[in-house]
Chains A and B, each alone.
Chain A
Amino acid sequence: MTDVLAVADHRRGELRDVSYEVITAGRQLADDTGGELHVAVISGTVDEFGDKLNREGVDAVHTVDYGEEFNHDVYTQVLTQLYDELAPQYVLAPNSVNGLDYAPAVANALELPIVTDTVGLEADGDTLVANREMYGGKVEVTTELEGTAVATIRGAEWSGAEGTGDASIEAFDAEIDEDAVGSTVTGFEEVGGGDVDISEAEVLVSVGRGIEEEENLEIIRDLADALDATVSSSRPIVDNGWLPKNRQVGQSGKVVTPDVYVAIGISGAVQHVAGMKGSDTIVAINTDPNAPIMDIADYAIHDDLFDVVPALTEEFQ
């Protein structure tokens, strides 16, 4: 048992970026263990996916032609069978919403420990050393476990594998027990449309939970008016119903790339950062000098937004 099995992610006919990232992470681990890297792709147009996943460092791609879209029962059955067949040391999955919908089940079915949302992975002999964050990114920990394991990797932490490999591409003949498939995906829906498209904005004044009360949003609107900017927000503001869904920046909201992104009272959780890290210039206003947003900010003010925001608005009035 030295090999690594990495699982690809796709949706509506497209492989997702993290599929290539999990190959990179998997190759590194396989180098540590001296084993091979196997990639599994389940459902969808698997032949086409198989070709695309044949990137540098991949030894074998296992395609499972079954159904169109992700179904966690199918994934769980296939992966436990592939595991029995290949006996890999590690199973790697993306820490995507779908990854979190099957990886814990696969780990449990195989009676393996699982570490999720890892940002670093290394195999040292029989020990898997995995780094992950806790407390919303305030600290990082090194965790260790012995033997075989399932791990999920955080998106955008590893670069995507490139080039073309010389992997064997093999159809894996999984036996799907239809009776054990108790969930059915019936469709998809886009959400968050509406009048304003924050992904087009040049300047975003983005507000987070630091604003405390709905009434206080007024000072953010005043600032946006003064700057001729657009208001966006982190998730809790939308969850509270203070702004519509189309204003949410992040993993489950919109990806934005403005010239300037002013993050006001936003901690910079990974799911938020996923949506705004491509901004040209990032300014953070936050009382907490250690907030994770500071790691990606170009300019920072460690102060109370209730003092800074009105003062800034005044500058432009």
Chain B
Amino acid sequence: MKILVTVKEVSTVEDEFEIEGTSIAEQYLGADLNEWDDYAIEEAVQIQEAGIADEVVTVTIGPEDCEQTIRQALAKGADRAIRVWDDSLEGVDLLDVGAKTEILRAVVEAEDPDLVLTGVQSGDDTWGATGVSLAEDLGFEWAAVVNHLEHDFEDGRASVRRELEGGVEELTEVEIPAALTIQTGINEPRYASLRGIRQAQRKELDVQSLADLGVDESAVEAEVTVTEMYEPESETDATVWEGSAEETAAELGELLREKGVAP
């Protein structure tokens, strides 16, 4: 069995930041492995360690800068990585679900995995839709927001739990090949060991352009465009206590006594 994991490097934003046009000014942005993808990688590696998967491959759409993040995934145990990038992707503000689906579809078709694991969403643009859209495009089965996966894949099925709202889980059987979107908490993602980090340097990281994948450049002409970015209107009329920690704690203490909720 082969598992393909989609791995994204997400942008993180500092507490204080400025917006320039339709994006956050570069100097306030950091980069990190998408939280949800970290769990997806861990799940794939655990399936491999259980002797059920033979290979775990990651795929990332992103510029050269994100190779650091991809190496993190390799250090945690993925066997090799694919990174998709070229000039046509350079100027795209927001890669929409349709564009991601087309690119990732080409990678899945070339790799022919039995299982595709994606994060439920990415921490920056939070579409939460790519895994399911991709599955439909491929004719794969799927399940969204998976917080438990049985590793035996009996009768060519994945037994999963989907985490619904309000502390209810749905038990579902899904035929494979399938794409599952992985929710945090499904496992405990490992830290990369020093040995893993050293090994990751030697693992294959294959860079592919859209042309290599046979994807037409028009695929990335996003149908959804960002026309404005702004800080959300704050509806707050919060009382902000100022001063030293002792002073603010005293204010809060007084409030709690006033409310009669503290001794």
Selected interface stretch from B47-55, B74-82, B167-175: B167-175
CB proximity to A under 8 Å, residues B81-138? 94, 96-98, 101, 120, 123-133, 135-137
Q: Is the CB of B137 within 8 A of A192?
A: no
CB distance from A185 to the nearest CB of B (A): 5
Q: Is the CB of B238 within 8 A of A299?
A: yes
CA distance A235 to B120 in the complex (A): 15
B133 contact set on A, CB distance < 8 A:
104-105, 107-108, 114
B230 contact set on A, CB distance < 8 A:
139-141
Q: Is the CB of A298 within 8 A of B238?
A: yes
Q: Given A104-B130, A254-B167, A290 and B16 touching (CB < 8 A)?
A: yes
B240 within 8 Å of A (CB atoms):
yes
Q: Is the CB of A141 within 8 A of B228?
A: yes
Q: How many A-B residue pairs have CB under 8 A?
A: 274
B165 contact set on A, CB distance < 8 A:
16, 96-97, 251-252
B19 within 8 Å of A (CB atoms):
yes
A105 contact set on B, CB distance < 8 A:
132-133, 135-136, 142
Q: Given A239-B184, A301-B252, A141 and B229 touching (CB < 8 A)?
A: yes
Q: Is the CB of A116 within 8 A of B128?
A: yes
A281 contact set on B, CB distance < 8 A:
255, 259
Q: Given A100-B128, A100-B132, A116-B127, A192 and B226 touching (CB < 8 A)?
A: no
Q: Given A300-B238, A303-B248, A316 and B225 touching (CB < 8 A)?
A: no
Q: Is the CB of B175 within 8 A of A182?
A: yes
B22 nearest CB neighbor, chain A only: A141
B218 contact set on A, CB distance < 8 A:
none
Q: Is the CB of A315 within 8 A of B253?
A: yes
Contact with B along A106-140 (1 / 0, CB 8 A): 01110001111100000000000100111111111
Q: Is the CB of B238 within 8 A of A135?
A: no
B13 contact set on A, CB distance < 8 A:
135, 138-139
Interface of A is mostly: mixed
B1 within 8 Å of A (CB atoms):
no
Q: Given A107-B133, A192-B167, A303-B248, A139 and B173 touching (CB < 8 A)?
A: no
Q: Is the CB of A76 within 8 A of B226?
A: no
Q: Is the CB of B166 within 8 A of A252?
A: yes
B164 contact set on A, CB distance < 8 A:
11, 97-98, 188, 252
Q: Given A104-B97, A183-B172, A190 and B167 touching (CB < 8 A)?
A: yes
Contact with B along A278-300 (1 / 0, CB 8 A): 00010110011111101111111
Interface of B is mostly: mixed
The interface size of chain B toward A, counting residues with CB under 8 Å, comes to 85
Q: Is the CB of A139 within 8 A of B172?
A: no
Q: Given A183-B141, A188-B169, A228-B263, A315 and B224 touching (CB < 8 A)?
A: no
CB distance from A94 to the nearest CB of B (A): 10
Contact with A along B225-263 (1 / 0, CB 8 A): 111111110111011110001101111110110010111
Q: Is the CB of A97 within 8 A of B16?
A: no
CB distance from B136 to the nearest CB of A (A): 4
B185 contact set on A, CB distance < 8 A:
235, 238-239
B188 contact set on A, CB distance < 8 A:
240-241
Q: Is the CB of A299 within 8 A of B252?
A: yes
Q: Given A117-B128, A141-B226, A189 and B168 touching (CB < 8 A)?
A: yes
B59 within 8 Å of A (CB atoms):
no
A166 within 8 Å of B (CB atoms):
no
CB distance from B239 to the nearest CB of A (A): 5
Contact with A along B180-220 (1 / 0, CB 8 A): 01001100100000000000000000000000000000000
Q: Is the CB of B255 within 8 A of A139?
A: no
CA distance A103 to B17 in the complex (A): 33
B66 within 8 Å of A (CB atoms):
no
Q: Closest 8 interchain pairs by CB?
A: A307-B245, A311-B249, A104-B129, A239-B185, A105-B136, A315-B253, A113-B223, A182-B175
User: What are 14 residue pairs bridging A and B, where the CB atoms are less than 8 Å apart in the complex?
Assistant: A11-B168, A100-B120, A105-B142, A135-B24, A139-B229, A142-B229, A183-B142, A183-B172, A189-B171, A227-B263, A283-B252, A296-B236, A303-B245, A308-B245
Which residues in A have some Cβ–Cβ distance to B below 8 Å?
A: 11, 16, 70, 72-73, 76, 95-98, 100-105, 107-109, 113-117, 129, 132-146, 182-192, 202-203, 226-229, 235-236, 238-241, 245, 251-255, 259-260, 262, 281, 283-284, 287-292, 294-304, 307-308, 311-312, 314-316
Not counting A182-B141, A239-B185, a sample of 8 additional A-B residue pairs whose C-beta atoms are within 8 angstroms of each other reads A105-B142, A135-B12, A139-B19, A182-B178, A190-B169, A252-B164, A307-B245, A311-B250
